[in-house]
Amino acid sequence: MKKKIVKISAVVILLMAGNQANAVNNISSMNDLEIVSDSTKESFIVYGNCGMCKRTIEGSLKDQEGVYSADWNKETKMMQVKYDQSLISLEEIKIKIAAVGYDTEENRASEESYKGLPGCCQYERPESK
């Protein structure tokens, strides 16, 4: 009987510890949501061709402070970003994308960075303004 009580107590203790960990995780998630709720969402065109372009374009913003999400659609060429305007501007975001070889309507990648792209990623560039 004592062994059963000890086993049941151990299970209860483990369950309680798990619930406390979940509560801490939920609080952390709520804090993250508060940060994202203050974000700005913008869409703009980024020229590119393929899945590798998608990885590179989105990757150019991956660890950028103030950028919460970046999603590029290869069919529509539309980039959606969520970011904190107090930490980074839309212009700075577009410059970072151009730095890895991809043109936006306002920012043109350098010839060097464009030509450094793999062949499948060398899209038809719009005329420069």
Residue 17: its pLDDT value, please?
57
Cα 26 to Cα 122: distance, rounded to the nearest angstrom: 44
Q: Which two tokens stand for residue 64?
A: 């950028």
Taking only the tens of pLDDT, the chain with its 129 residues reads 556 565 565 555 655 555 454 444 443 343 444 445 578 999 999 999 999 999 999 999 999 999 999 999 999 999 999 999 999 999 999 999 999 999 999 999 999 999 999 999 999 998 876
Q: Cite the DSSP H helix spans in 38-110.
A: 51-59, 90-99
Residue 35: its pLDDT value, please?
46
For residue 53, count other CB atoms closer than 10 A to its CB.
Answer: 24
Residue 126: its pLDDT value, please?
85
Q: What is the pTM of this model?
A: 0.70
Helix (H) or strand (E) holding 100, with range, is: none
Query: What is the phi/psi pair of residue 61, to 5°?
Result: -115, 0
CA-closest candidate to residue 57, choices 87, 28, 32, 94: 94
Q: How far is CA 38 from CA 11, 85, 93, 100, in A?
A: 41, 9, 17, 28
